[in-house]
Amino acid sequence: MEELLKFAPRPTGAGEMFQLLRDGQPRTRADLAAITGQARSTIAARIDLLMSAGLIAPAGEASSTGGRPPATFAFRPGARVVLAVDLGATHAHLAVTDLASNVLAELETPLAIADGPDAVLSWVTEHGDKLLETAGRRRHELVSVGVGLPGPVEHSTGRPINPPIMPAWDDVDVPGILRRHFGTAVLVDNDVNIMALGEHRTAWPEVTDMLFVKVATGIGSGIIADGELRRGAQGAAGDIGHIAVPHAPDVQCRCGNVGCLEAVASGQAVATALRAAGLDAATSADVVALVRSGDLVASRALRQAGRDLGSVLAACVSLLNPSLIVIGGIIADAGEHLIAGIREVVYQRSLPLATQHLRIVTSQARARAGVLGASAMAIDHVLSPAAIDALIT
Amino acid sequence: MEELLKFAPRPTGAGEMFQLLRDGQPRTRADLAAITGQARSTIAARIDLLMSAGLIAPAGEASSTGGRPPATFAFRPGARVVLAVDLGATHAHLAVTDLASNVLAELETPLAIADGPDAVLSWVTEHGDKLLETAGRRRHELVSVGVGLPGPVEHSTGRPINPPIMPAWDDVDVPGILRRHFGTAVLVDNDVNIMALGEHRTAWPEVTDMLFVKVATGIGSGIIADGELRRGAQGAAGDIGHIAVPHAPDVQCRCGNVGCLEAVASGQAVATALRAAGLDAATSADVVALVRSGDLVASRALRQAGRDLGSVLAACVSLLNPSLIVIGGIIADAGEHLIAGIREVVYQRSLPLATQHLRIVTSQARARAGVLGASAMAIDHVLSPAAIDALIT
DNA sequence: CACCTTTTGACGACGGTCAATCATAAGTTG
DNA sequence: CAACTTATGATTGACCGTCGTCAAAAGGTG
């Protein structure tokens, strides 16, 4: 049966051949013909199509093997642009990127999500247009928009569902509103999910199973399994902030339970603990500043937060068996104390099989993880085989 | 090279049209044309192909709407058979099923996995052949074999990796050995994973995100996310037995840590606790028997085990956001005490968004979950669009 | 029974892909 | 520089899958 597989007939359209080039590496026509199994003439025709759409461009000549050197072709990320929108509880981060998520122009500013969808989204459309201009691109070059929101989102419809910190946004048709203005596809997801996506695509594209953990005022995570973001039944997957921490003190959490991870290890929780110890710490940023200034009490508190986080992440490791955990969010900027605490507990509490190939690292995308993820989500939608085929006809 | 595989199985579409019929429902040519958007003549050609391969058969006429009544066609599950093999620590369960996982012949018997791969696998080949004969099928009708093993398995290669209870099986090429005998594709996975698959396919096919939990001598789980089994980076996902239980007593676990779920809530752990209370309980089966006989101490112990399980499952719910948790394994046969304890804690400890659509139920496939899953895994491989296209050419 | 509706199978047309061929371009090797 | 090697573009006929049409078949309706 399997043997017959190799006789299976004809492959691929132009859109699928294009997927091979998305990694940015230049390839010759012969390369593509060998990989796809198609005739050289067919490949040549597809190259012409993709070139005339501007999606690929000649990338110089490869080295000769004795005769005429072959011409190579590579993905041309600058062909179009997308708008990436990362909305947090109190800030907004906009970026215009090319199709390889290179940031062409960006804008970061305080903005309260609680102002409601009308105010926030009209701010987005206004500054989205301006940013496009700053990047020197025209509206017709914009092919899609990706948005991250600080709450649970049903990804298929793009509507927030019962978002605790932005109640006015419940069930708002965010894609519809933005599409009316920009005239393109609009993809929406949870902010932690898009951070996970951003980190995955830009820093760890070859990893298939990873967990991205955002530690800031709250705590959340995004799950990549088998190479893709997993959102769960209602889009609420990764919500680890309210998992009970084993052996934690019975601290009251805003969710009503006691001993939640967020109540003992979030930036807010650490700040509260430091105030109780007589230090001046109101916000997560204050905690980071204290630790960076070398304050021992703050460092010790952060390491303990790491241990508490670690005891929850150990459970996540057992359940998901990722090969990578990435720690992001503002608290991750406070140095190695947090991650040291995490490692301490995770490697002790998990089985060897799950930890032998497990790395635990800090975010590389840092504050840009959100927009990079929003960009990646928008790009994915637009560079799918079907979308490419539609574009070039 | 691997990329090539991504392209080779890009078929003409007969295999893909066949996927529509896999649900067993009869459809007319017009139905299929409407669904796929292809011309009726094209559909007719594909029907002919699939008919001549025996994969589908006429299923009578649909009711007329005024003119000639259309003929309907339906998947013919009896066209081929697969062998399903569920190997536990101390027992073996074999089944020959048709392509809809209907059991045609089965065999369940004690067998020690610790006897090693040579002894066990030759037992499997011998009795596999006999079972095929019992079912009245010939060797050439067998198209694939699915195997479940009680330990971590790298699914892509089918090799066990560091299996704690079957060390002699480490890195053994199980698919290779069985393929040499049966001459078909052989798929291998962890036993809990195939139970999850079996339960999912036979009882909850429409659920996209669920968690199957096996509670027996040990505790393990299988994850279905976005409709498919997720195995993690090394195939060890779902290994919840060694997650720390919050507020649990510091019971020593065989893994070296203390307070593991398996050490406080497994059949073995409950039996140990009951012995300490003066009851006669050596195995998980004894625990089930005691509870069924109405023993109050045993019932209370099981309910507490449910609570402990629940506190771990609450974390899993927060992380994965499933819409269903299925409890299987022998302990699940002891009635509602266990599941009552689970519900008690899960619904209290998880956020409303995650629990509002969450059901927690006992397994419907029961003892057959394993072979049904092995069967489903084998069938999936053989009824994929690419495999069908290869078959009918 | 004649007429209508709908399905079905057969046929020819169309378009995409392939394999082969040739002339030409653009390098390397001696 | 000449000979050789390899890549490219253009062209061709053949093949295969798909589509649309049309007449025949099969049943309902009056």
* Token representation of residue A97: 């990127």
> Given a cut of 80, is residue A7 above it in pLDDT?
no
Cβ neighbours of residue A258 under 8 Å, at least 6 residues apart? Answer: A250, A251, A252
CA distance B181 to B363: 34
B69 contact to strand D (CB, 7 A limit): yes
**Cβ contact B263:B269 at 8 Å:** yes
pTM: 0.93
Picking from B243, B250, B251, B317 by the largest number of A CB atoms within 10 A of its own CB, the best residue to mutate is B243
Mean pLDDT of chain A: 93
Instruction: Classify residue A284: in a domain, yes or no.
Output: yes
Residue type, A249: P
Per DSSP, helices labelled H in A321-355 are 336-349, 352-355
10 Å CB burial of residue B107 (0-12, 13-18, 19+) is: middle
CA distance A387 to B141: 41
Cβ neighbours of residue B210 under 8 Å, at least 6 residues apart? Answer: B196, B200, B204, B224, B322, B323, B324, B325, B326
Which is nearest to A101 in space by CA: A134, A62, A146, A56? A146
Q: Which of B75, B101, B116 is the last residue of a domain?
A: B75
Contact yes or no for A234 and B323 at CB 8 A: yes
Closest CA of chain B from A353, distance in Å:
7
Tell me if residue A365 falls in helix, strand or coil: coil
Instruction: Classify residue A234: in a domain, yes or no.
Output: yes
The residue length of chain A stands at: 393
Q: Which of A37-41, A43-47, A313-317 has the highest mean pLDDT?
A: A313-317
The residues pairing with B97 across neighbouring beta strands, listed in sequence order, are B82, B103
Closest CA of chain B from A190, distance in Å:
14
For A308 and D9, how far is CA from C1' in angstroms?
A: 66
CA distance B10 to B18: 14
How many other CB atoms are found less than 10 A from the CB of residue B308?
24
Q: Which nucleotides of D are covered by protein (CB under 7 A)?
A: 4-12, 16-21, 25-29
Question: Do B148 and B13 belong to one domain?
Answer: no
Instruction: Classify residue A280: in a domain, yes or no.
Output: yes
Residue in A with minimal Cα distance to B319: A238
Instruction: Give Cα separations from B73 to B23, B35, B80, B251, B298 (angstroms).
Output: 12, 15, 17, 59, 54
Which is nearest to B233 in space by CA: A356, A194, A232? A356
Q: What is the pLDDT of residues B318-360, one digit of tens each?
A: 999 999 999 999 999 998 999 999 999 999 999 999 999 999 9
**Cβ contact B186:B288 at 8 Å:** no
Which of the pair, B12 or A15, is modelled with greater confidence? A15
CA distance B320 to B312: 12
**Cβ contact B99:B79 at 8 Å:** yes
Q: What is the pLDDT of residues B293-311, one digit of tens each?
A: 999 999 999 999 999 999 9
Nearest protein residue to nucleotide D6 (CA to C1' distance) is: A67
Q: What is the pLDDT of residues B159-215, one digit of tens each?
A: 999 999 999 999 999 999 999 999 999 999 999 999 999 999 999 999 999 999 999
CA distance A201 to A377: 10
Q: Which of A25, A58, A75 is the last residue of a domain?
A: A75
Contact yes or no for B386 and A8 at CB 8 A: yes
Residue at token pair 């009896």: B78
Question: Do B249 and B337 belong to one domain?
Answer: yes
Tell me if residue A135 falls in helix, strand or coil: coil
Contact yes or no for B351 and A236 at CB 8 A: yes
When CB atoms are compared, the residue of A240, A243, A319 closest to B240 is: A319
> Given a cut of 60, is residue B16 above it in pLDDT?
yes
Which is nearest to B239 in space by CA: B226, B255, B228, B256? B255
Cβ neighbours of residue A72 under 8 Å, at least 6 residues apart? Answer: A26, A27, A28, A58, A59, A60, A61, A62
How many other CB atoms are found less than 10 A from the CB of residue A249?
10
**Cβ contact B186:B361 at 8 Å:** no
10 Å CB burial of residue B67 (0-12, 13-18, 19+) is: exposed
Q: Using 50, 70 and 90 to split pLDDT, how confident is the model at A6?
A: very low
Question: Do B118 and B218 belong to one domain?
Answer: no
**Cβ contact B319:A240 at 8 Å:** yes
Question: Do A96 and A164 belong to one domain?
Answer: yes
Residue type, B167: P
**Cβ contact B146:B140 at 8 Å:** no
**Cβ contact A274:A285 at 8 Å:** no
Q: Which of B75, B101, B123 is the last residue of a domain?
A: B75
Residue at token pair 């699939």: B50
Which is nearest to B321 in space by CA: A156, A171, A152, A321? A152
Closest CA of chain A from B319, distance in Å:
4
Contact yes or no for B232 and A37 at CB 8 A: no
Residue A125 lies in domain: 79-196+370-391
CA distance A226 to B366: 28
Pairs of CB atoms within 8 A across A/B: 202
Question: Do A213 and A331 belong to one domain?
Answer: yes
- When divided into structural domains, chain B yields a total of 3
Closest nt to residue A48, judged CA to C1': D9
Q: What's the pLDDT at B12?
A: 54
For A385 and D6, how far is CA from C1' in angstroms?
A: 32
Contact yes or no for A318 and B239 at CB 8 A: yes
Question: Do B235 and B358 belong to one domain?
Answer: yes
Percent residues over pLDDT 70 in chain B? 97
Q: What is the CATH number of the domain that holds B15?
A: 1.10.10.10
Closest nt to residue B70, judged CA to C1': C7
CA atoms within 13 A on the CB side of B290: 26
Q: What's the pLDDT at B324?
A: 98
Question: Do A300 and A232 belong to one domain?
Answer: yes
10 Å CB burial of residue B139 (0-12, 13-18, 19+) is: exposed
- What phi, psi does A73 have (nearest 5°)? -130, 145
Q: Using 50, 70 and 90 to split pLDDT, how confident is the model at B37?
A: confident
**Residue A101, Ramachandran bin (φ over 0: left; ψ between -120 and 50: alpha; else beta):** left
CA distance A309 to A266: 9
Q: What is the pLDDT of residues B56-109, one digit of tens each?
A: 999 888 877 778 888 999 999 999 999 999 999 999 999 999 999 999 999 999
The residue length of chain B stands at: 393
Q: What is the CATH number of the domain that holds A336?
A: 3.30.420.40
Nearest protein residue to nucleotide C27 (CA to C1' distance) is: A68
For B30 and D25, how far is CA from C1' in angstroms?
A: 17
How many other CB atoms are found less than 10 A from the CB of residue A161?
16
Instruction: Classify residue A166: in a domain, yes or no.
Output: yes
Q: What is the pLDDT of residues B233-272, one digit of tens each?
A: 999 999 999 999 998 888 999 888 999 999 999 999 999 9
Question: Do A277 and A186 belong to one domain?
Answer: no
The residues pairing with B258 across neighbouring beta strands, listed in sequence order, are B252
Instruction: Give Cα separations from B266 to A314, A392, B253, B269 (angstroms).
Output: 20, 59, 11, 5
Tell me if residue B215 falls in helix, strand or coil: strand
B110 contact to strand D (CB, 7 A limit): no
Starting at the edge strand found earlier in the chain, the sheet holding B27-28 runs B27-28, B71-75, B56-61
**Cβ contact B144:B378 at 8 Å:** yes
Range from A54-68, A74-88, A220-234 carrying the lowest mean pLDDT:
A54-68
Question: Do A352 and A376 belong to one domain?
Answer: no
Instruction: Classify residue A265: in a domain, yes or no.
Output: yes
Instruction: Classify residue A65: in a domain, yes or no.
Output: yes
Contact yes or no for A319 and B320 at CB 8 A: yes
Instruction: Give Cα separations from A313 to A12, A318, B286, B347 (angstroms).
Output: 42, 9, 35, 21
**Residue A68, Ramachandran bin (φ over 0: left; ψ between -120 and 50: alpha; else beta):** beta
How many other CB atoms are found less than 10 A from the CB of residue A337?
19
Instruction: Classify residue A134: in a domain, yes or no.
Output: yes
Instruction: Give Cα separations from B331 to B196, B219, B271, B302, B363 (angstroms).
Output: 16, 10, 11, 9, 11
* Token representation of residue B241: 């037995």
Nearest protein residue to nucleotide C5 (CA to C1' distance) is: B67
Cβ neighbours of residue A48 under 8 Å, at least 6 residues apart? Answer: none
Contact yes or no for B231 and A321 at CB 8 A: yes
- What phi, psi does A30 have (nearest 5°)? -60, -40
> Given a cut of 50, is residue B6 above it in pLDDT?
no
User: Which residues does strand C reach (CB under 7 angstroms)?
Assistant: A 10-11, 13, 37-39, 41-42, 45, 61, 64, 66-69; B 28-30, 40-41, 44, 65-71
Angle at A46 between CA A41 and CA A48, to 5 degrees: 95
> Given a cut of 80, is residue A10 above it in pLDDT?
no
B67 contact to strand D (CB, 7 A limit): yes
Closest CA of chain A from B136, distance in Å:
22
DSSP strand pairing (B71-75 vs A56-61) = unpaired
Q: Which residues of A touch B200 (CB under 8 A)?
A: none
> Given a cut of 70, is residue B1 above it in pLDDT?
no
Question: Do A216 and A355 belong to one domain?
Answer: yes
Average pLDDT value for residue range B3-8: 30
How many other CB atoms are found less than 10 A from the CB of residue B386?
18
Instruction: Classify residue A6: in a domain, yes or no.
Output: no
Question: Do A66 and A178 belong to one domain?
Answer: no
Q: Which residues of A touch B320 (CB under 8 A)?
A: 223, 230, 232, 237, 319
Q: Which residues of A touch B236 (CB under 8 A)?
A: 321, 351, 353-354
Q: What's the pLDDT at B9?
A: 30
Question: Do B189 and B329 belong to one domain?
Answer: no
The residues pairing with A219 across neighbouring beta strands, listed in sequence order, are A215
Nearest protein residue to nucleotide D11 (CA to C1' distance) is: A41
